A and B are shown apart, each in its own frame.
Chain A
Amino acid sequence: MKAAVGLVLLFFVAVALTLVVGVRNAGIVDVWQAFFAFDASDPTHAVIRSVRAPRLIAGLIAGAGLGMAGTVMQAVTRNPLADPGLLGVNAGAAFAVVVGALVTGYADSGMMAALAFPGAAIASIAVFLVGGARSGAGSPVRLTLAGVAINALLLSLVSAIILSRNETLEIFRFWVTGSLAQANARPLEAMFIALVVGAGISAVIAPRIEALALGSTLARGLGTKPGAVQLSALAAITLMTGAAVAVAGPIAFVGLVVPPLARRIGRHVLRRELVVSAILGGSMILLADTVGRLVVAPAEIRVGIMTALVGAPAFIFVVRRLKPGALT
């Protein structure tokens, strides 16, 4: 109960800060008026509605998507290091969008963003195949190493493609580290729908994922088909990660930091964990983005870099806490 109150508070603080903080400081009153008593001649109102609100929505889609995708991934693979960022799913989505832009000559329109989904799907299938998860021989170590390798490969390919072209550095930055700065140019409605579908699939198969986490033998004894559950989970991860990347670029570490907290608060009931992950992930991205905008104002540190600043120490913490033999 205490945790629930804390979560709601955290969420509201993160949302409020996103709308209030910026080059043009606004009060809560301005925010209220911008939505409910809009005055077109007031530049503060305009900024809130056209810049900060999309930023808020993009942050929530990205954070909720990555948080829930991480939670599903960690549950399915029984690997506390599974994160769509670390395992190359983000990078796969970014890679597909960039290649799409290269081939068609479009400079990344909303349509291009749809490529994030096949990109994410192919990268996660590649990780599962290389990591041996499908054959049952996959250990968490193999899966993590395969993911890290594929992630590095895809990110350098993204860099190589972008550096060979004349686009501004801004696009490069977006597809390598992720940012909410272009939120109002991203296909937010479509990606919101993709996120909801992904979250819906996850919620439906959650009890079966819980069974799968007890090992595939027991899972089959409990009446689930491990292959089918893994495939549905893969679809859900792809939808949620793809949506996140399409609105905010590849952001690492959210999917790593959020799931362990969600497990603790959600007490190993996956549906509860999903709700907690969505709230925590969204809040984490919004807060990281707000801090990133404050520390070097009027410039900003990109949210992907801010999450890495928090995430890298968290990663080391998780690794150090692993029991000997836990990853074999």
Chain B
Amino acid sequence: MIETGLTTTSLTLGYRERVVIRELSIAVPDQSVTSILGPNGCGKSTFLKALARLIAPTSGQVCLSGDDIGKIDTRLLARRLSILPQSPKAPEGITVSDLVRRGRTPWRGLLAPWSEEDARVCQQALEQVGLSDLADRPIDELSGGQRQRAWIALVLAQNTPYLLLDEPTTWLDLAHQLEVLSLLQQRNRDHGTTVVTVLHDLNLAVRFSDHLILFGGNGLVAAGQPEDVITPDNLLSAFGLKALVMPDPITGRPMIVPH
């Protein structure tokens, strides 16, 4: 069997003595939007970082199209998979377009000048996040939602088939959360980009994801389509939360109403 996409085999993750994820073998479906959910401290961020090779596994491996990502050249990996960490820092006074062009780093040769391809991809990324008009504005002057879209433009400029984001909606109000998530969904529909995010808001995750991975205090609880993962039993074992699950009046997908 030829493995495709992003998969883990017997993946164990931890810091020093503390094991956070144990012997996890799971696949992230290709060309879909996947959200990783779970209570605080369950290891969902750790898991995302391991998928992006920011954390070395204690044992087991993460594979990208069958290649162990631990063995892929750093720069080549960065052309296939990008990650936006939580609350990244921008240099003071940098403009949106100058920030976004740094997303081209893995594509630029040792002495290669800025190419037309680089410029085109950056412009396209700015258009996709709707910041073309603000390209020359310093990032410090933007609102929280605009700033987050600028960071997303940076990883879009990296132009990878796999896009990982660690809590991309933190600190944003509901309208901006929707905006960011629909942006990512759009990217997935238009480019077939595999999007993996860590999210806190369950209802938003259900709404925008094709696939969910739900962690609890003791590792994986469920993975699959939202309808199969979001059940009262799973919510109870993952969060200790008693909740009613009913169809969302707009999308028909499961909606969580806590007791």
Interface residue ranges, A against B (CB under 8 Å): 75, 78, 80, 203-204, 207-208, 210-211, 213-215, 217-218, 220-225, 263-264, 267-269, 323, 326
Contact = CB atoms under 8 A, between A and B. Distances in A.
A268 B94 contact: yes
B90 interface: yes
Contacts of B79: 223
Interface string B82-94: 1111001111111
Given A204-B111, A207-B105, A264-B93, A222 B88 contact: no
Candidate in A80, A203, A224, A268 with the most chain B CB atoms within 10 angstroms = A268
Contacts of B83: 217-218, 221
Contacts of B106: 222-223
B98 A218 contact: no
Nearest to A74: B91
Interface in B146-170: 155, 158
B91 A268 contact: yes
Contacts of B77: 223
Given A222-B106, A223-B106, A224-B74, A215 B85 contact: yes
A214 B78 contact: no
Candidate in A75, A208, A220, A221 with the most chain B CB atoms within 10 angstroms = A221
Contacts of A210: 102, 105
5 contacts: A220-B74, A221-B84, A224-B75, A267-B95, A267-B98
Interface of B: 52-54, 74-79, 82-85, 88-95, 98, 101-103, 105-106, 108, 110-111, 155, 158
B90 A220 contact: no
A304 to B, nearest CB: 29
B105 A208 contact: yes
A214 B110 contact: no
Contact of A221 (B82, B93, B101): B82
B161 to A, nearest CB: 15
Given A78-B91, A222-B78, 5 more contacts: A210-B105, A220-B74, A221-B54, A221-B158, A222-B105
Contacts of A211: 102, 105
Nearest to A203: B111
Candidate in A75, A203, A207, A213 with the most chain B CB atoms within 10 angstroms = A207
Nearest to B101: A269
Contacts of A263: 91, 93
A267 B139 CA distance: 13
A233 B89 CA distance: 20
Nearest to B78: A223
A94 to B, nearest CB: 31
Given A263-B93, A268-B95, A223 B74 contact: yes
B110 A204 contact: yes
A213 B91 CA distance: 7
A218 B86 CA distance: 9
A177 B110 CA distance: 38
A78 B85 contact: no
Contacts of A204: 110-111
Nearest to B158: A222
B84 A218 contact: yes
A223 B93 CA distance: 24
A203 B113 CA distance: 11
B88 to A, nearest CB: 5
A218 B91 CA distance: 13
A224 B74 CA distance: 7
The 8 closest A-B pairs by CB, nearest first: A223-B78, A223-B106, A223-B75, A221-B83, A217-B85, A222-B105, A268-B98, A211-B105
Contacts of B78: 221-224
A226 to B, nearest CB: 10
B102 A221 contact: no
A138 to B, nearest CB: 14
Given A221-B83, A225-B74, A215 B98 contact: no
A50 B247 CA distance: 89
Contacts of B108: 207
A221 B82 CA distance: 6
A258 B194 CA distance: 44
Given A224-B74, A263-B93, A267-B98, A218 B85 contact: yes
